[in-house]
Amino acid sequence: MTQAFPPAGVHLWSAFVSELEDPDHYATSFALLSSGEQAHANRFRFDSDRKSFVASRALRRRALSHYADVESQQWQFTVNEYGRPRILFPLMDELLEFNCSKSPDLVVCAVTRGIPVGVDIESLDRKVTQGFAEFTCAPSEWADIKSRPGDEQGKRFLAYWTLKEAYLKARGVGLSVPLDSMDFSVTASPRLTGHLEFSAANDGSEWQFALLSPTPFHIAAICVRRQGNLDSLVEMRPYSSPSNSLKQRTSSR
């Protein structure tokens, strides 16, 4: 059955990787994948990475099938020269845009009706080194992080990081934009959101950003190309396999 959504809307689908600990659910999801995806899944060294990959690729197929009369197994994908995935088959009158991201325990897939979109998700317990944070942040971002109370600094860094990733993924060209040339500002009220400052490399006015908490343990950033003055609404779509209760777990590699 196909689903309507607002012309400028974004649907953010999510699924827990822990669902695949049930062998039947793993088999069902694995069977949706192409032979190439299945081979890819089997090349992972760690079970946790394999499950997260299978969950992500299965969610992408299930989510897209909500908007077109296409079975989940039938979608075929290709990537652009920078590795950004897009739909190869079937050809459709209305182009569906999508972008996926995975964390060890939750995978997400953002879908729009023809609007370029990027998404990135991280677990809030993801730790990075200070050197990493300084390397990737613009000076104003780093100053903002350092000004936060100690227990909020990690989350604020992940807000900037996911915003940058979402922006690069929406543009689909990772190479040309240095990470610390993206100068974001994050505001926490009335809700957590991000804004890209204008610079030579980045026209912040072209893109709209949202920061979301798909669960209390995750942060996700979405970037969509702005359509006129219209703000895109982001709607959450948790996916759960039929007859499967959600079991949230924090897993680590």
Partner 1 sequence: MLLPALYTSRKAMPDNHKPKVSSSPELQREVAQLLVECLNLEITADQIPADEALYGDGLGLDSIDVLEIALVVSKRYGVQLQAENAENQHIFSSLRSLSDYIATERTT
User: Which residues contact partner 1 by CB under 8 A?
Assistant: 40-41, 43-46, 49, 53, 79, 82-85, 122, 126, 128-129, 131-132, 135-136, 161, 165, 168-169, 174-175, 177-181, 253
Taking the C-alpha atoms of residue 202 and residue 170, their distance in angstroms, rounded to an integer, is 13
Kindly tell me which of 167 and 241 has the beta carbon lying closer to partner 1: 167
The token duo for 113 is 């009706």
Displacement of CA 188 from its chain's centroid (Å): 20
Kindly tell me which of 118 and 204 has the beta carbon lying closer to partner 1: 118
Taking the C-alpha atoms of residue 157 and residue 148, their distance in angstroms, rounded to an integer, is 10
Taking the C-alpha atoms of residue 228 and residue 207, their distance in angstroms, rounded to an integer, is 10
Kindly tell me which of 6 and 36 has the beta carbon lying closer to partner 1: 36
In whole angstroms, how close is the CB of 178 to partner 1 at the nearest point? 5
Taking the C-alpha atoms of residue 116 and residue 134, their distance in angstroms, rounded to an integer, is 29
Kindly tell me which of 89 and 135 has the beta carbon lying closer to partner 1: 135
In whole angstroms, how close is the CB of 62 to partner 1 at the nearest point? 19
In whole angstroms, how close is the CB of 212 to partner 1 at the nearest point? 19
In whole angstroms, how close is the CB of 10 to partner 1 at the nearest point? 19
Kindly tell me which of 8 and 222 has the beta carbon lying closer to partner 1: 222
Phi-psi region of 172 (alpha: psi -120 to 50; beta: other; left: phi over 0): left
In whole angstroms, how close is the CB of 139 to partner 1 at the nearest point? 10
CA dihedral angle for residue 139, residue 144, residue 145, residue 146, rounded to 10 degrees: 90
